[in-house]
Copies of this chain bind each other. A is one copy, B any other.
């Protein structure tokens, strides 16, 4: 008889009818924080993985595609991004990307959950390095509250949120975008992640409609992201004056997914996605 071995899997239910399984060798953290359930496991395929309420947030192997696309498009579209606000992003990946822009002088990162920050510091050195950069200030509080009082303080706002459920739901809504608009100065841009057009088309189209009520220029772009549902991930770029498709400031330091050519290509939408956005706009 063949020798047997452990066969332990982490399973994400991406929808009720679709799930992704990754074999794991170790559970590193498995706790309920005041806001969500936090799991860190070591996987065979993607290195360490952090999930919040069962949804994969980062894996060591593929987080670069998401963080680079979320941060660099609007930072490069801005002519001179100096002050950046990151909403969520407690793992540090978006901050790590933001400080690759030489013009960036200060990054304020506001995450509601101190345990996410702690877990990143303990298990994800390549991500939490973004939290330790001297230009980065980390605040643990509700970003909805933080941004409410701000006026013209930021060049770029990056919304690096979990799925729109519970406390994160407001981050996909017009009142929040209005507060962000006020917090940005006159050349400001916002980037936000808006899920997969195959499994959650309403999140993309709904958020786009809400953002368009506030920002004169709103464009959709997309990229590959293996461990997020369907591997095709969308983003919104909202802007006061600058077309987010155009490159205005120097490219960031070393990147693995993002480039100037990828920047422009990511705004080219397949017809089915253009049609989806047009339908919901009527």
Residues of A with Cβ closer than 8 Å to B? 9, 11, 15-23, 43-46, 61-62, 64-65, 196, 198-199, 222, 224-226, 230-232, 255-259, 261-262, 264-265, 268, 270-272, 275
Q: Of B23, B199, B230, B259, which one neighbours A17 at CB under 8 angstroms?
A: B23
Task: Report the bound CA distance from A53 to B37 in whole Å.
Answer: 37
Residue of B nearest to A259 (CB): B271
Residue numbers in B under 8 Å from A230 (CB-CB) = 62, 224, 226, 231
Cβ distance A212 to chain B, nearest Cβ, rounded Å: 22
Contact indicator B270/A257 (Cβ below 8 Å): yes
A-B contact pairs, 15 of them (CB 8 A): A18-B22, A18-B23, A19-B21, A20-B20, A21-B21, A62-B230, A224-B224, A225-B231, A226-B231, A226-B232, A231-B232, A261-B268, A264-B265, A264-B268, A265-B268
Cβ distance A146 to chain B, nearest Cβ, rounded Å: 33
Residue numbers in B under 8 Å from A20 (CB-CB) = 18-21
Q: Say whether, besides A23-B17, A265-B268, A270-B262, A226 and B255 are in contact (CB < 8 Å).
A: no
Residue of B nearest to A263 (CB): B268
Cβ distance A135 to chain B, nearest Cβ, rounded Å: 24
Residue numbers in B under 8 Å from A271 (CB-CB) = 255-259
Q: Which of A45, A256, A264, A272 has the most CB of B within 10 A?
A: A45
Q: Which of A15, A22, A198 has the most CB of B within 10 A?
A: A198
Residue numbers in B under 8 Å from A224 (CB-CB) = 222, 224, 230-232, 270
Residue numbers in B under 8 Å from A272 (CB-CB) = 64, 256-257
Task: Report the bound CA distance from A137 to B139 in whole Å.
Answer: 66
Knowing that A198-B226, A222-B224, A257-B271 touch, tell me 6 more A-B residue pairs with CB under 8 angstroms: A11-B21, A224-B224, A231-B231, A256-B271, A256-B275, A258-B271
Cβ distance A157 to chain B, nearest Cβ, rounded Å: 25
Task: Report the bound CA distance from A249 to B222 in whole Å.
Answer: 27
Contact indicator A259/B270 (Cβ below 8 Å): yes
